Amino acid sequence: MKPKAPTTGYVDGAWWPRSRDLSTELPSLLAVLAIRPGRIERVSYNLTGWHPAGRRLPIEGGVVRLEGFRAQRPDTVTITGQGRQRLTLLVIPPEAAPAAAHRMLMTASQRGNLENIEDLLAAGRPAAPEATDVVDVEAQRWELDGGSV
């Protein structure tokens, strides 16, 4: 989560669930987030990004409404608490490599981060090799095949 401050950017933090099963993954997330928006009333998510889920999720102390939408970004969930306080979290794919997930978590939670969803997800991808690296690899391959530089 970003530090508590005026809202900036597209997300308020990031979440790396272990699976695409909301009913299994949400209780532990909501337990941690309850202090930020107060009592959590609902979670909205993209229908195509998750396994089918019920419309209500019993949690300690109450029930949270689950609202799936096709129009919501598949890489986010929105948690709504008391007084309509909202948190939008970047959802890091469960299959992400740990190092990539860590980069995305850290980038999305930086104070003042203004990056859009695509850029935040790209933070987890390995950097493309520079053109000089490609030339060096090709030269090495040529030398290994009997050529000389």
Mean pLDDT per 10-residue segment, the chain (149 residues): 72 94 94 79 95 92 93 93 88 94 91 86 66 52 53
0.85 exceeded by pTM: no
Measured CA distances, 63 to 41, 55, 99 (Å): 7, 10, 35
- Dist CA 2 CA 73 (whole Å): 20
Q: Which of 110, 87, 98 is nearest to 18 (CA)?
A: 98
